[in-house]
Amino acid sequence: MTLGVVHLALRGARRQQHARVAGARARSYQGAASSASAAEAGLDPQLSQSPSPLRSLTRSGVPLRMLILGAPGAGKGTQSARVRQCFDVAAISSGDVLRRNIAAQTAAGRMAQAAVERGALVSDDIVVELIRTELAQLETGSWLLDGFPRNIEQAQALDTMLAGTGQPLNAVVNLDVPENVILQRVVERYVHVPSGRVYNLTYNPPKVAGVDDVTGEPLEHRPDDNPASFVRRLEQYRTQTMPLLEYYRSQGVLASLSGSTSDAIFPQLYALLDQRFE
């Protein structure tokens, strides 16, 4: 995808998105299989709170060990937030972990910042060690990871970490979203760094421009959320991350969920988890 094609795709995506938004605001979210599931599936990921206690017990008794995969901007963070409003699942976002370290200007954060400003991915050694530290605090209970692993080497490092606990991955979800939709998302995306809440200027804007709805703190536009960086990140994703789909398919844990909006994908994700939790 060249920059010229990127800009054309962006204009087309914006026209399509404005048309969809008008219709989406006039109808409720698509529900899951039952009316109770529908209520949970339609939660606003930014503001709503779960109307019932979080579901914490899995039917098998084995804690959930799940990954959410997808291209940059596919909505991994949004889906993670919605899952946590329905299920008692701890979430680790590699992007949030990196941003916290960048904001704190830790040694790892400074190295990560240099990579982000170049539109490059952070080195495996830095990311693996940060994730290892996070997982060490979550030995019990269910959890999900988004944004990690990004390549086969990271996946193998994760498998090694989990082998020591006797609790390997038991679910991997791939978010299959059209590239032109993703492009619009990333260039209009703003983030509340401390919480990881994500806003979009078109279909999920903050109540007050530039300010987080919950805390009133300022939002940030990521340095790599621009068309040029998107092209580079997408190529890196195709080269490094897409092979993970076959890696996890061969392990029998992969499920792909398709859609152009988070509202279209979440009912599918909810249904998948509904089968696992009591």
Active site (catalytic) residues: 76, 150, 189, 222, 233
* The residue to which tokens 């995808």 are assigned: 1
CB 65 within 8 A of CB 33: no
One-letter identity of residue 227 = P
**CA atoms in the 13 A half-sphere facing the CB of 261:** 18
- Alpha carbon distance, N-terminus to C-terminus of the chain: 44
- Residues 6 or more apart whose Cβ sits within 8 Å of residue 105: none
The tokens describing 5, both together, are 């094609």
What is the rounded CA–CA span in Å between residue 67 and residue 145?
Answer: 5
Distances (CA, A) of 210 to 30, 169, 278: 29, 38, 40
Q: Which residues make beta-bridge pairs with 211?
A: 208, 218
